[in-house]
Amino acid sequence: MAKVVIAYHSGFGHTDVMAQRVAEGVKAAGVEVSLRKVDVLDDALWAELAAADGIIFGTPTYMANVSAPFKAFMDASSKPWFGQLWKDKLAGGFTNSGGLSGDKLGTLQALVHFAAQHSMIWVSQGVWPSAYSNDGKGSNRLSSWLGAMAQSGNSPAGVDNPNAEDQASARLFGERFGVAVMRWSR
């Protein structure tokens, strides 16, 4: 069975909710998925990443970029990078922040460059933005193309925080990624 690992950081739980939605989407595509926080960089994490068919990277946007713990993970990945252990795996990314924009695009671009350094193959968001369809569903409300975006208020994380439509879009992204992994690893 194809396997996806979601490697992510969440300081206050909001990106965590987004990661759960992405995981549900991957699972709905019939693909095994594991959620791995990158706060602890142990051997088990690197082994799981090396064995995965696809890796989805997730981080809150802090100061227009990935969070410091996520950057520590990126830097620590220089070992698998040196052997190009993730080469030709599928990659994707998601981020969550307080602002509607909040410069989330900068974070996704950092993740794309990171995946490219590992010679991975990037899967985009692939959900038509509701700004163009007016179908009332609110899918891809933030009109992101590169990866999944969500916006959260300052209150604690929960069913509506991140924004519920952004959570649904994260699930759609996960499903698209799962389908892509199945095709790629066939």
Ligand X SMILES: Cc1cc2nc3c(=O)[nH]c(=O)nc-3n(C[C@H](O)[C@H](O)[C@H](O)COP(=O)(O)O)c2cc1C
Do 107 and 63 contact (CB within 8 A), yes or no? Answer: no
Which one of the spans 8-16, 27-35, 110-118, 139-147 is the region binding ligand X (CB under 6 A)?
Answer: 8-16
Smaller CB separation from ligand X, 57 or 86: 57
Q: What is the dihedral of CA 65, 29, 35, 46, to 10 degrees?
A: -90
167 makes contact with ligand X (CB under 6 A): no
Comparing CB distances to ligand X, the nearer of 13 and 30 is: 13
CB 99 → ligand X: shortest distance, Å?
A: 3
Residue nearest to ligand X (CB): 102
**Per rule CB under 6 A, is residue 60 in the interface with ligand X?**
yes
| Nearest distance in Å: CB 157, ligand X | 6
Q: Which of 28, 35, 50, 64 binds ligand X (CB under 6 A)?
A: 64
Q: Helices 14-28 and 164-184 meet at what angle, rounded to 10? A: 40
**Residue 54 pairs with which residues in a beta bridge?**
4, 90
Q: Distances in Å between the alpha carbon of 158 and those of 1, 59, 155?
A: 31, 17, 9
Task: Sort residue 138 into left (φ over 0), alpha (ψ -120 to 50) or beta.
Answer: left
- Of 32-40, 45-53, 97-105, 176-184, which segment contacts ligand X by CB under 6 A? 97-105
Q: Does 158 bind ligand X (CB under 6 A)?
A: no
Strand-pairing partners, residue 7, are 36, 57
**In angstroms, what CA-CA distances link 121 with 91, 154, 171, 173?**
6, 34, 20, 15
Q: Which residues contact 183 (CB under 8 A, 6 or more apart)?
A: none
Nearest approach, Cβ of 113 to ligand X (angstroms)? 18
Among 5, 7, 15, 94, binds ligand X (CB under 6 A): 15
For residue 22, the minimal CB distance to ligand X (Å) is 13
Binding site for ligand X (CB under 6 A): 10-15, 60-64, 96-99, 102-103, 152
